[in-house]
A and B are shown apart, each in its own frame.
Chain A
Amino acid sequence: MPARARTYRAQILGVGSPVLCDDAAGIAVVERLQAEGLPAGVTATVGGAGGLALLDLIEDCDWLIVVDAAVTGSTPGTLHQFGARDLESGPTLHLAPTHGFDLPMVLQLLEVEGRNPPRAIRIIGIEAADVQTLSETCTPAVQKATARVAAMIRSCLGEKSPQPL
């Protein structure tokens, strides 16, 4: 039996705080994609601080790409990529398994609500330099990284019929 078509073929969800410097890395990626125009069937969402709020923001889609800041001790701007199941060892700031609010948990709660979680999930963590100083701009290394991530996502999703907003 063929799988039911989803509302979107892909959703890019950027999580983080818009005013805490590099914590906004995920949001910066989403805003860049929105400004450049999204391919057909793709939606991009600014996601807040994660947690159960994700329940309100995850769309009915085939493929969910979550972008978030990460603090692992690597060089700022380093990209970490993993699937939802790898989150046990992948500490991004707003999705890490803090014993109750991790992304796999949110996906299970979606099912409890009777909704369909995305078929495939990819998480991209951007290594942050500073996530404590109040600022609306990211540090230079992270700004460069957000451009790279947006380009990466765009090439994954294909450039067919881009729709400027």
Chain B
Amino acid sequence: MSERITISPITRLEGHGKIDIFLDEAGKVRDCYLQVVELRGFEKFCQGRPVEELPRITAKICGVCPGAHHMASSKAADEVYGVRIPPTAEKLRRLFYNAHIAHSHILHFYALAAPDFLPGAEAGPERRNILGLIQSVGREEGREVLAHRGYAQKIQGMIAGHPIHPVSSLPGGMSKSLRERERAEIEPMSDSLVHFAQKSLRLFEDLVLRRKSSREMISGDTYYSRTYYMGLVDASGCVDFYDGTARVTTPDGSLFASFDPRDYLEHIGEHVEPWTYLKFPFLKSVGWKGLMDGEDSGIYRVNSLARLNVADGMATPLAQQEYEKLFDFFGGKPVHHTMAYHWARLIENLQACEELVRLSRDPEITGEDIRTLPGKPVGEGVGAVEAARGTLFHHYKTDAQGMVEQANLIVATVQNNAAMNLSVKRAAERLIENGSPEEAILDRVEMAFRAYDPCLACATHHLPGKTPLEVRLIRPEGTVRTLSRGPEGEG
């Protein structure tokens, strides 16, 4: 009988992603726990503030996805006042937000995902980063990557009114319209972003699909979980980042639920475990059955692959072609292979960039009617968007003057909490043989974690994805071997 080890959340290191792998007497994985640290005091922080302050202040929580909070919060505040924003305002928000998605996806792929393939496992950990990638592809290509990241950032800044903390979205619309000279700057950057997005997909094909070992990794069963999926879709059933109906599909791909995000509490429950502060959202009508996948488990996944799984297609033509290629490769929908998140992300990036082109050419984009002035508050609102990392909900209740009384937040990454635990466990199980771990195992476990692009910044405010990760192997007799990446030591 293996010795039971109790983990107290209080003794855990703050600010770290931590994975504990418990081994049994035979050296096989018995249990696996991914721990991240949660933010505290969101509701208290919001209480007593005028609700129109929230789109600006919640955007400051996270340096990685301020745009997502700015949008979700604005939409919740729109509802608190019961206002419909003017068409130009929605177009401006969408122009801003697609730039945000593009920035996030470009950053994740080139700085975090791609280096695992180029320079790849042969290079030491000190080269598996964006610099190592640039050294491999060449300086010119490197400049192109940085330039396009910069374009996406610049477009956001021009609309959001501030280079890092977006401020211009308000209940009822926007505070600032787009000038023609700004639009004229955005249009060519958007065109270039589309070409770059296509180039990124070709790079993915070369790095992953055309190389045997990578292709096997993406399509094998080490990174695989049969779960439900959730994402927002537009009126045509296509992927939409800014708005839509929440759609949930079953592990075999049939429609499970379709609901207005306002009704999220009817569909999503939050399970609590004693060993972590982070909750586990799950589908209420299936129930929480523990950390397992399959039809009987209420665990669902969000983020790029989930969005492509639930949707009927992409909203833009070039992205739609790439969407079809992905599902052809895997032989149908849904795709449960976790490494496909990286591919889905690049397809979404293409859609976001195509939308930037379309919106920057829309004659209404420079319109002056950008705000419906709010009147008396209705008193409650839910705003949901697809953050780069998955569905994000902001829910506010206010008094009759619009001062916040209650506030709830479900961030994208927490919804993947259960699935991340599952993926890490599965990767560990397959790679740890007889309890003799190697550097490669740490790598592979990290890759499982990284496929989700977890915004631990929303949970830990750390730098995106590359939180110092501590992996501990705990044997029945209590000995602990720590493999870690981070300031304390190169694992």
Contact = CB atoms under 8 A, between A and B. Distances in A.
Given A53-B164, A71-B15, A112 B146 contact: yes
B45 A135 contact: yes
A20 B461 CA distance: 8
A105 B63 contact: no
B38 A101 contact: no
A71 B487 CA distance: 12
If over half of A's interface residues share one DSSP class (helix, strand or loop), that class is named, otherwise mixed; here it is loop
A91 B143 CA distance: 29
A48 interface: yes
A118 interface: no
Interface stretch (B127-135, B268-276, B471-479): B127-135
Given A23-B461, A56-B153, A132-B37, A100 B146 contact: no
Interface stretch (B1-9, B54-62, B294-302, B368-376): B54-62
Interface in B32-78: 37-42, 44-45, 57, 60-64
A113 B143 CA distance: 6
A108 interface: yes
B111 interface: yes
B61 A88 contact: no
A89 B111 CA distance: 22
A135 B461 contact: no
Interface stretch (B318-326, B340-348, B462-470): B462-470
Given A105-B130, A112-B146, A57 B63 contact: no
B253 interface: no
B150 A18 contact: no
B426 interface: no
B40 A132 contact: yes
A6 to B, nearest CB: 21
B455 to A, nearest CB: 11
Interface residues of A, number: 40
B61 A89 contact: no
Contacts of B430: none
B142 interface: yes
A108 B135 CA distance: 11
A89 B489 CA distance: 9
Interface in B143-173: 143, 146-147, 149-150, 153, 163-165
Contacts of A91: 486-488
Nearest to A97: B487
A105 B129 contact: yes
Contact of B38 (A17, A51, A132): A132
Nearest to A15: B63
Nearest to A91: B487
B139 A101 contact: no
Given A18-B60, A97-B487, A132-B37, A109 B461 contact: no
A161 interface: no
B463 A112 contact: no
Contacts of B125: 99
B36 to A, nearest CB: 11
Contacts of B107: 52
B235 to A, nearest CB: 35
A53 B157 CA distance: 12
B353 interface: no
A56 B163 contact: yes
A131 interface: yes
Interface of A: 17-20, 23, 46-53, 55-57, 71, 88-91, 93-94, 96-101, 105, 108-109, 112-114, 131-135
Given A52-B130, A91-B488, 12 more contacts: A17-B62, A19-B61, A50-B463, A51-B463, A52-B149, A56-B150, A56-B164, A96-B487, A98-B462, A100-B130, A132-B38, A134-B39
